[in-house]
A and B are shown apart, each in its own frame.
Chain A
Amino acid sequence: MAGVLALVETKEGSLRSSGIEAMSAATVLAERMGTGADALVVGPPEIDAAAGALSGYGAGTIHLALDPALAGYRPEVFAEIAVQVIREGEYDVVLLAGTGLGRDLAGRLGALLDVPVAEDATAISVMDGRLRIERPVFAGKALATVEVDVSPTLVTLRPGAFPVQQSEGAGTLARRSLALDPGRWPTETISRESGSAEVPDVSEASIVVSGGRGLRDPESWRLLEELCAELGPEAGLGASRAVVDAGWRPHSEQVGQTGKTVAPRLYFAIGISGAVQHLAGMRTAGTIVAINRDRDAPIFRVADYGIVGDAFEVVPRLTEELRSPQGR
């Protein structure tokens, strides 16, 4: 049986954490299938030094397709390179992190390889030599198990759903020589404004601090930002649709059926009532804490811990408590 390939995304000169999750998942899966796991990294030349680290997550061969022209996402050429590597290596399973880039690329690969894509997987098991892929549907209101009848089986993984696991791999670097012709690629990125570099995106954060209309105005987000900072670099901000519609927060932070579906280890819902459309996006979180003035708010029905109270009093106290050494 041919192996498993993880496509590992890069971000500003390093490997993306969700890409390392994909590599770890590939290694675990390959072991269960009795085969090996390899990696493909497409990106700028600076990545060369960082990519070797993938051997620590079980990568056998690390295919490198590096070129200064690939610092940003160039969908057509990323897809072309991935298809070549997949075909040459006759990979049976290809895993990608389900980031914006991963979801965009997977659809294209599906078309070029003429196979379906199982998107947004939260678990993969092997039964009688076949993959069973679990994926949330109806924005997390239900979990579907799917089977794919063709090879390669393309799967995107929900960021945060697969643990990072260390394991020793050969880590042989296979640098590909590329003959690129940027003039031939129609889609071009003109400019990019990154959001806050310190705060991870809501879909990748392992702790999410989400705020709703109960916070009254956009200035109150200072309180959530302070809480987030105290929770450390793995904490990110989320929002309900009510505050996104009001223009207080960007849509990229919206959690719910028409926003992101997230599965962090810890989720704080602050001044959020808990409408079904919001619950759909966060009910698979590990531990849920709700802070709300209204004891009957539906959010308390899915929360693990609840404090009934005014967010303007509770949140600063929480930040302070986390900061104080005796609390630790």
Chain B
Amino acid sequence: MQIVVVLKRVPDTDTRVRVAEDGFSLDPGGVRYVTNPYDEFALEAALRIREERGEGEITAITLGEESAQEMLRGALAAGADRAILLRGRAGSDGSAVARALLPEVEALGPDLVLFGMKTIDDDQEQLGPMLATMLRLPCATAVSEFEIEGSHLRCRREVEGAREWVQLPLPAALTITKGAYEPRHPSLKGIMAAKKKPLDVRDVIVPPGRMRVVEMRLPPERQGAKFIGEGPDAVPELVRRLRGEAGVL
């Protein structure tokens, strides 16, 4: 079984966001990068499927800068068999990124393509169903757990206030959310083995973006709390303010 895991490198969740001088991008100064947390769930899901079946080849692929190699080495250390870095600039236009990834993922002849549900930098929650549709693969999003039953996948989806089970035929694509796939830590053996695994790096042309960020700013600073008081005795005053000056009740 060919499993492709599509991953992105993103700023750590601790990052203090500052706008760069151009006025529309992130100031990279002092930013630490990590694998998008949802993509770690996707990789973990791929590793478990291979363990359960006792066969399967896992390819980790990303579109990004040279420095994304480190993330891919991490994926190899965790257990992926090979990795591909498509060197290019992933802008804010998800459809351009999808079109750049399309021929590369297609060429791998995947039985299963796994995405993270969303990236924590662009927060688009888009690439999975978009690229799956371009690949003409059936797709389920926001999957927290799944199993393979013969030629089908059975997936648990987490949607507003409900969970549902969906079934779709292989080959297929899924976007993975938090659930059954807490990522493992790579073992020392895994880290050593990763050094010998293939990591292809090649340039890719990302089509020009048709959606552009023209401005980025920080949300207005909040003033900080007015302390109403201590303990339950402060409650009547809180309620009075919420009904009165705040007008929210």
Interface residues of A (CB under 8 A from B): 75-76, 79, 99-101, 103-108, 110-112, 114-120, 132, 135-150, 186-196, 199-201, 203-204, 207, 231, 244, 250-252, 254, 257-258, 261, 265-266, 276-277, 280, 283-284, 286-290, 295, 300-310, 313-314, 316-318, 321-322, 327-328
B166: which A residues are within 8 A, CB to CB? 187-190
Known: A107-B128, A303-B225, A309-B231. A137 touches B123 (CB 8 A): yes
Is A200 within 8 A of B13, CB to CB?
no
Chain A contacts for B125, CB-based, 8 A? 103, 107, 119-120
Tell me how far the C-beta of A88 lies from the nearest C-beta in chain B, rounded to whole angstroms: 20
Q: A111 contacts which of B133, B215, B242, B243 (Cβ < 8 Å)?
A: B133
Is B228's CB under 8 angstroms from A303's CB? no
Within 8 A of A (CB), among B32-66: 37-38
Q: Taking the nearest CB of chain B, how far is it from the CB of A225, in angstroms?
A: 14
B140 within 8 A of A: yes
- Residues in B with CB closer than 8 Å to A204 are 160
Q: In the complex, how many angstroms separate the beta carbon of B112 from the nearest chain A beta carbon?
A: 14
B177 at the interface (CB under 8 A from A): yes
Of B92, B125, B172, chain A has the most CB atoms within 10 Å of the CB of: B125
Chain B residues whose C-beta falls within 8 Å of the C-beta of A144 in the assembled complex: 24, 92, 213, 215-216
Contact of A142 among B19, B95, B131 (CB under 8 A): B19
| Least CB separation from A153: chain B residue | B211
Cα A116 to Cα B218 with chains together (Å) = 24
Contact B124 A119 (CB under 8 A): yes
Is there contact, CB below 8 Å, between B235 and A321? yes
Choose from B38, B161, B169, B222 the contact partner of A252 (Cβ within 8 Å).
B161
Q: Is the CB of A100 within 8 A of B160?
A: yes
- Partner among B123, B161, B211, B243 whose Cβ is within 8 Å of the Cβ of A120: B123
Complex Cα distance A24/B209, Å? 29
Contact of A266 (CB < 8 Å), options: B131, B162, B177, B242: B242
Minimal beta-carbon separation of B52 from chain A (angstroms) = 21
Q: How far is the CB of B230 from chain A (nearest CB, A)?
A: 5
Q: Which residue of A lies closest to B218 (CB)?
A: A142
* Bound form: Cα–Cα A304–B227 in Å: 9
CB distance from A303 to the nearest CB of B (A): 4
A309 to B234: give the CA distance in the assembly, Å.
9
Number of residues from B at the complex interface, CB < 8 A: 89
Complex CA distance for A139 and B211, rounded to whole angstroms: 19
Q: Which residues of A contact B197 (CB under 8 A)?
A: none
**Is there an interface contact between A188 and B13, defined as CB atoms closer than 8 Å?**
no
Count of A-B contacts judged by CB separation below 8 Å? 282
CA distance in complex: A66, B160 (Å): 23
Residues of A within 8 Å of B229, CB to CB, are: 307-308
Given A99-B159, A120-B124, 10 more contacts at CB 8 Å?
A107-B130, A117-B94, A144-B215, A187-B138, A189-B164, A266-B248, A276-B14, A305-B238, A313-B232, A318-B239
Contact string, B116-160, partner A, CB cutoff 8 A, digits 1/0? 000011111111111111100011111010000000001001111
Q: Does B210 reach chain A (CB closer than 8 Å)?
A: yes
> Known contacts A100-B142, A287-B248; is A305 also within 8 Å of B124 by CB?
no
Which residues in A have their C-beta under 8 angstroms from that of B17? 138, 141-142
Nearest residue in A to B135 (C-beta to C-beta)?
A: A111
**Contact call B13/A116, Cβ cutoff below 8 A:** no
**Which of A108, A231, A251 is the most central at the interface, judged by chain B CB atoms within 10 Å of its CB?**
A108
* B238 in contact with A257 (CB, 8 Å): no
Q: A103 and B141: CB pair below 8 A?
A: yes
A205 to B229, CA, bound (A): 28
**Given A193-B163, A257-B13, A284-B219: A251 and B248 interface contact (C-beta under 8 Å):** no
Q: By the criterion CB–CB under 8 Å, are B98 and A251 in contact?
A: no
Closest to A277 in B: B13
| Residues B232 and A138 in contact, CB atoms below 8 Å apart | no
Give bound CA distance, A192 to B163, whole Å. Answer: 6
Question: B161 touching A200 by the CB < 8 A rule?
Answer: yes
Which residues from A are CB-within-8-Å of B128? 107
Do A306 and B227 touch across chains, with their CB atoms under 8 A apart? yes
Q: Let me know if B217 is at the binding interface, CB within 8 A.
A: yes
In the complex, are the beta carbons of A318 and B164 less than 8 A apart? no
**Chain A residue contacts of B230, Cβ below 8 A:** 307-309
Report the 9 A-B pairs with minimum CB-CB distance, sorted nearest first: A107-B129, A306-B225, A111-B133, A317-B232, A201-B160, A186-B138, A303-B225, A100-B159, A195-B161
Cα A190 to Cα B33 with chains together (Å): 39
